[in-house]
Amino acid sequence: SAVISQKPSRDICQRGTSLTIQCQVDSQVTMMFWYRQQPGQSLTLIATANQGSEATYESGFVIDKFPISRPNLTFSTLTVSNMSPEDSSIYLCSYYQASSYNEQFFGPGTRLTVL
């Protein structure tokens, strides 16, 4: 599988600010996804990052709050805008490996704390 990395690994932010998380894969991948994992919970999909078009958001998530970029086949960003303490979570990107049994592989996550 390709190597997938995220930056930053963690951050502590003030209410009302925004944070952009970067996700880099070391080879071209078709699809990238952004998930959120709140404390003690499982993963919830935020959106699918589509290369060359707008991201596809899941119910409960909107572009104004979570703008996503996918400028090429190896990179994506997720911005958490106008943060509140409820946004404190781990944010994970993943990619789909077309050559295998449709598995998805995850980045190491970004642990966000909003004060």
Partner 1 sequence: RKEVEQDPGPFNVPEGATVAFNCTYSNSASQSFFWYRQDCRKEPKLLMSVYSSGNEDGRFTAQLNRASQYISLLIRDSKLSDSATYLCVVNPWGLSGNTPLVFGKGTRLSVIA
* Angstrom distances, CA of residue 76 to CA of 2, 11, 46, 61, 66: 15, 18, 13, 17, 12
Of 84, 103, 113, 115, the residue at the interface with partner 1 (CB under 8 A) is 103
Q: Which of 53, 60, 86, 101 binds partner 1 (CB under 8 A)?
A: 101
- Shortest Cβ 98–partner 1 spacing (Å): 7
Query: Where does this chain bind partner 1 (CB under 8 A)?
Result: 30-31, 33, 41-45, 48, 58, 92, 96-98, 101-109, 111
